[in-house]
Amino acid sequence: MDVEEITVEKTTQETDQKTAQKTDHKTAHKTAQKTAQESTQESTQETVDKTVEKIFDLLDTNPEISQRELAELTGLSQKGIEWNIKKLKDMGSLERIGGSRNGHWEVISSHSERN
Contact, 98 vs 104, CB < 8 A? Answer: yes
Residue type at 57 in one-letter notation: D
| CA 26 – CA 45 distance, rounded (Å) | 28
CB 115 within 8 Å of CB 103: no
How many separate helices (H) and strands (E) can be counted in the chain? 4, 2
- Could you tell me the residue ranges of all domains in the chain? 3-114
pLDDT digits (tens, 9 = 90+) for 37-94: 777 777 777 877 889 999 999 999 999 999 999 999 999 999 999 999 999 999 999 9
Strand partners of residue 94: 107
Q: What is the pLDDT of residue 115?
A: 47
| Domain covering 3-114, topology | Arc Repressor Mutant, subunit A (1.10.10)
CA separation for the pair 2, 8 (Å, rounded)? 10
DSSP string, 64-94: T--HHHHHHHHT--HHHHHHHHHHHHHHTSE
